[in-house]
Amino acid sequence: MNEVLEVEGLKKSFGTLEALRGISFQVQKGEIFALIGPNGAGKTTALRIVATLLSPSGGRVSFLGFDLKKEPEKFRQRISYLPEEAGAYKNLKGIDYLKFMANFYSSSEKEAEEFIGRARNIADLGTRLNEKAGTYSKGMTRKLLLARALMNRPELAILDEPTSGLDVINALEVREIVKKFSREGISVLLSSHNMLEIEFLSDRVGLINKGAILDSGTPEELKHKYQAKNLEEVFRSALR
């Protein structure tokens, strides 16, 4: 596989707090790579740096050969970021929200229509798209936002806790959407504290705690290495 994202020795400090203490990882083309760990481990900070929303305190981030510090605009042209706390415009109908975002991302009317059509299929909300987003359940809103994040087929989708707070059915649907686009060649960098879920979703994972990556590999490699039944047991063993 071809390397899309390379993170080397990434550091981030907020005053005296070291949120990231020199983490390194790579994401390949069409791969789902997850940073997993407890709240406050540094997952969201890492994603925000790659999404160009935060400046690193040290280290290097390279995306498709572009350097984050020198050419952040090259990142923004080719990535999509979905924060955990993201929301849609509640007074807009779902379809109007998608049209607004499609016009924002596209370079022509034809391309905008293509994006809207793809987003409709991703969200799979049927006639509910004609209703205001403020009437949607959390699961429906999350699917609408995921449709926004994937409508332009970014080369890297950055998803922060994509299924947080969702019920089993909605979480399953979101995972299937992410898997589908990964199979079509889109790379995915995501974060989660739900290790059991990520075990079934991700190709590789990085176990992160207190701003440092404890270990990384495929779920099967890690389970074999630590003689564990699941990633929760792996994480507990890696902490020792």
pLDDT (tens digit per residue) in 145-176: 999 999 999 999 999 998 888 888 888 888 99
Is the Cβ–Cβ distance between 100 and 112 less than 8 Å? no
Report how far apart, in Å, the C-alpha atoms of 189 and of each of 28, 91, 132, 157 are.
Answer: 10, 30, 30, 6
Query: What 3-state class would DSSP assign to 224?
Result: helix
Amino acid at residue number 230? N
pLDDT digits (tens, 9 = 90+) for 223-233: 999 999 999 99
pTM, to two decimals: 0.93
What pLDDT sits at residue 86? 75
> What's the rounded Cα separation, in Å, for the pair 169 and 140?
11
What's residue 1's pLDDT?
52
Residue 116 Cα to chain centre, angstroms? 21
**Into which CATH architecture does domain 3-85+155-239 fall?**
3-Layer(aba) Sandwich (3.40)
Q: Domain spans of the chain?
A: 3-85+155-239
pLDDT for res 89:
84
The span from the CA of 226 to the CA of 50, in Å, is 30
* Residue with token string 């006639």: 127
Consecutive H or E run containing 7: strand 3-14
CA–CA separation, 44 vs 162, rounded Å?
A: 12
Extract the residue ranges of the chain whose pLDDT is less than 70: 1
Q: Could you identify the residue written with the tokens 């909605």?
A: 170
